[in-house]
Structures are given as C-alpha cells and as structure tokens.
C-alpha cells in the first residue's frame, strides 16, 4: 500500500456537473470540476494541490512553448454497475511518463505523488465518471517546463498536472488509412518512444494531407526506407495473418502502448502465436492478395481497438475483409471491456481501485 499523502484541496464553489450531458460528449472537450497541480523547483517537488479546473498563468518565455519541453500521458478510469471506480494500469503510465521525462531532461514524478494525486482527484470528481456502456473517464497527466528564459537548455522548474474528461462510447467505425511514404513521425534514435508534445505537432500536417485525400489517418512507416510499418495515427497497430497476431517490434521510434501490451498478453493467454517483429507494407498487401490477412487494427487508450477497413498504398486502395463477431479484434476488445468494468476477473492485476 502507498502511504497516504495529504493533498491540500480547494473545492470548487461552482460545480459544472449539472451541465454534464453524458449522451453528448465530444472527446476531450468537457473537463471535470478539479485538477491536480504540483510544481518542481530547487531540485524537488513542492506541495501538491487539488484546485478547481481552470486556466493557468505561465511565463511567455517558458521553454515548453518555445522548445517543446512537454510530455503527457493518457489513461482511463471505469465505473462498474455498483458504482465502484477503477483505473486501468496506471503504474504502467507512470513508468512511461518517467521514461518520457528522462528523454526530455525532465524530473521523474515519484510514485506516491502520481498515484495519490490521481486517486484523490478521481475520488473528488467521482460523480463525473460516467457508467453507461462504452463510457469512461479519460485521464490526462502532463508535465511542462516553467522557467521564463529563452536559452535552449533544460528548464530548472516544471509543473506536473492531471486533468480529466468524461468520454462517451467511442464509435469504432472501421478506418481508412494509407501508408505514409514521404513524411515521418519519428526516426530510430529520435524521441518517438516518448509521449512528448512535439511528436504530435509534427504529425498534424502529413495527417491533414491524408485526410484531404479521404483517409482517416496514416500508417507511419520507418524513416529510412518507408518500408516497415510503425504505427497508425496515434495508435499502435497489429495484424492477424494466417491465425497469428503480428505487430511491429518496439524500437526508439515506436511508442510502447499499454493497450498494445494488454492485447498481446490476452492473445498469449488464449494460446495464440504472437510475433513482435518488423512488418513491411508489402508483407501486409501480399497477405491480403493471398487471402491470409484476416484483420488489421489500431490499438490505443482512446479507441481501445480501431479496425482498419481500407489501406491505401502508392495511389491504390486495398479493401480488407470484413470481420465477424468471432474476429480476434472483437473478442479482445470485449475481453478488455469486461476486465475494466469488473465483469471478468482481473487475472493480471491491471485494475487499481479508486
Ligand atoms: C499514446 C500512444 C499510443 C497508445 O498508447 P496506449 O498506452 O495504448 O494508449 C500509441 N502510439 C502513440 C504515438 C501514442 O502517443
């Protein structure tokens, strides 16, 4: 058990809960009443606080704004039929946050600060956690540099915050994606494995071009040859080929997704062959032509599983077979939902009760 940290809490006097319409939630637009804030200076984390959600003041010279010294995380909490709330694999998010922090020369966030901040914030805003099918509380921890100083060097001061948003059922319309053969999201040796802000800013333009061509998102390929698949949009990607689950192996250019990890674990639990290795665009299209490509899907916290319907490659669209209720992607998505909502046993100890 973690020791209980006392977090000074200033409750809102103007709750917005009555305005919440759980049937109409656009992802990331509705925030709960409170947020967690803690500053880092003089080489240590200062007193944490929970305060009403609202705007913050920063120096216009802060190096997060100028040089992108900023990182984030994304995870979800679920409310079961009894009204109990549990968070999915938050310790994994903390480990990844601290791996991102190291890459960006930022201080690590101690476990009790992260976990107590998270749990106490969710407890305070418990009524904001929706409980209808497919809904959850999306949790966004993030850290940014706060020094007001234009030198290009790591900041001495930082702020770590957690904000949360109730999110509705994600409508998993099968995606149209295309291989990216000009731009890159990240390169080996870069910071693609870290959840740092700049990775996302730089991916918007190539994604916009693909969207103008009628695709939902990109299938990023490796930076040196544009031959091997890396990720799909801001998700990891996996394929079922000839009954095997195949996904690009992790590298410094691929983000180590917690959904990816969970999906691979369940596949292994079910006795499925799992291969983490290089997967080329040609291999996937050859498998499609040979009739052995059964499924392709993105995996990430926001959508959990996002099936892919069409893959564009060198100006041509390739339509994937439609999947039935017995498809691996459906079964694994249902299994994850059951674990998260307490309908199935949590045999891997993934859920942390609030
Ligand atoms: C966050 C993210 C993922 C998915 O990670 P999860 O932990 O499963 O949400 C995949 N790729 C990128 C680039 C990401 O930022």
Candidates 297, 291, 292, 238; CA nearest to 268 is 238
- Which token pair is 37? 């804030």
84 and 165 inside one domain: yes
Residue 348 lies in a domain: no
pLDDT at 53: 98
Strand partners, 145: 158
Residue 354 lies in a domain: no
3-state secondary structure 146-200: CCECCCCCCCCCEEEEEEEEEECCCCCCCEEEEECCCCCCCCCCCCCCCCEHHHH
pLDDT at 3: 57
65 and 23 inside one domain: yes
Residue 321 lies in a domain: yes
Distance 183 CA to ligand 1 centre (A): 19
* Ligand 1 atom index nearest CA of 192: 13
247 and 325 inside one domain: yes
198 and 228 inside one domain: yes
162 and 17 inside one domain: yes
Structural domain ending residue among the three candidates 142, 169, 196? 169
Distance 157 CA to ligand 1 centre (A): 27
Domain around 142: 8-169
| Ligand 1 pocket, residues with Cβ under 6 angstroms | 74, 195, 231, 234-236, 255, 257-260, 300-301
Give the burial class of 282: count Cβ atoms within 10 A of its Cβ; 0-12 exposed, 13-18 middle, 19 or more buried: exposed
Strand partners, 61: none
The span from the CA of 9 to the CA of 33, in Å, is 12
* Ligand 1 atom index nearest CA of 258: 7
pLDDT in tens for each of the 354 residues of the chain? 445 788 999 999 999 999 998 888 888 999 999 999 999 999 999 999 999 999 999 999 999 999 999 999 999 999 998 999 999 999 999 999 999 999 999 999 999 999 999 999 999 999 999 998 889 999 999 999 999 999 999 999 999 999 999 998 776 689 999 999 999 999 999 999 999 999 999 999 999 999 999 999 999 999 999 999 999 999 999 999 999 999 999 999 999 999 999 999 999 999 999 999 999 999 999 999 999 999 999 999 998 999 999 999 999 999 999 988 899 999 999 999 999 999 999 999 999 999
122 and 140 inside one domain: yes
Torsion-angle region of 67 (φ positive above 0: left; ψ -120 to 50: alpha; else: beta): alpha
160 and 183 inside one domain: no
Residue 349 lies in a domain: no
162 and 229 inside one domain: no
155 and 30 inside one domain: yes
pLDDT at 134: 87
pLDDT tens digit string along 195-238? Answer: 999 999 999 999 999 999 999 999 999 999 999 999 999 999 99
pLDDT at 341: 93
The span from the CA of 211 to the CA of 219, in Å, is 12
pLDDT at 133: 87
Pocket mutation for ligand 1, best pick of 27, 235, 252 (most atoms within 8 Å of C-beta): 235
Distance 1 CA to ligand 1 centre (A): 28
- The enclosing domain of 148 has a CATH number of 3.30.470.10
Residue 62 lies in a domain: yes
pLDDT tens digit string along 149-178? Answer: 999 999 999 999 999 999 987 766 899 999
Biggest CA–CA distance in the chain, Å, is: 63
321 and 190 inside one domain: yes
Write down the pTM of the prediction: 0.96
Distance 330 CA to ligand 1 centre (A): 20
Report the residue count for the chain: 354
Total domains, the chain: 2
Residue 309 has a CB neighbour count (10 Å cut-off) of: 17
Distance 236 CA to ligand 1 centre (A): 6
pLDDT at 1: 43
163 and 197 inside one domain: no
136 and 26 inside one domain: yes
* Ligand 1 atom index nearest CA of 73: 1
- The enclosing domain of 246 has a CATH number of 3.20.10.10
The span from the CA of 334 to the CA of 271, in Å, is 17
Residue 311 lies in a domain: yes
Q: Which residues contact 37 (CB under 8 A, 6 or more apart)?
A: 48, 49, 50, 51, 56, 159, 160, 161
Residue 182 lies in a domain: yes
């Amino acid at each position: 058990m973690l020791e209980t940290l006392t977090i000074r809490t200033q409750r809102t006097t103007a709750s917005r809960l009555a305005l919440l319409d759980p049937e109409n939630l656009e992802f990331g637009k509705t925030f709960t009443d409170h947020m967690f804030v803690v500053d880092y200076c003089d080489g240590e984390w200062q007193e944490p606080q929970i305060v009403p959600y609202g705007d913050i003041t920063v120096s216009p010279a802060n190096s997060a704004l100028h040089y992108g010294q900023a990182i984030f995380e994304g995870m979800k909490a679920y409310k079961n039929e009894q009204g109990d709330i549990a968070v999915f694999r938050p310790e994994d998010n903390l480990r990844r946050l601290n791996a991102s922090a190291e890459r960006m020369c930022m201080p690590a966030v101690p476990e009790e600060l992260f976990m107590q901040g998270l749990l106490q914030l969710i407890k305070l805003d418990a009524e904001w956690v929706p409980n209808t099918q497919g809904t959850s509380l999306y949790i966004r921890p993030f850290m940014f540099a706060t020094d007001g100083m234009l030198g290009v060097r790591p900041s001495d001061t930082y702020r770590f915050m957690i904000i949360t948003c109730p999110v509705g059922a994600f409508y998993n319309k099968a995606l149209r994606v295309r291989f990216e053969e000009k731009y890159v999201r990240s390169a080996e040796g870069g910071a693609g494995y870290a959840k740092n802000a700049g990775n996302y800013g730089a991916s918007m333009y190539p994604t916009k071009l693909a969207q103008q061509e009628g695709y939902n998102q990109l299938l990023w390929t490796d930076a040196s040859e544009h031959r091997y698949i890396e990720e799909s949009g801001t998700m990891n990607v996996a394929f079922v080929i000839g009954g095997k689950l195949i996904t690009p192996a992790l590298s410094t250019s691929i983000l180590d997704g917690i959904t990816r990890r969970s999906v691979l674990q369940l596949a292994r639990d079910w006795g499925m062959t799992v291969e983490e290795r290089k997967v080329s665009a040609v291999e996937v299209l050859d498998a499609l032509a040979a009739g052995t490509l059964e499924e392709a899907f993105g995996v990430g916290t926001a959508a959990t599983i996002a099936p892919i319907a069409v893959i564009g490659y060198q100006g041509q669209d390739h339509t994937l077979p439609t999947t039935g209720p017995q498809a691996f992607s459906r079964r694994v998505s249902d299994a994850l939902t059951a674990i998260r909502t307490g309908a199935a046993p949590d045999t891997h100890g993934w859920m942390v009760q609030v």
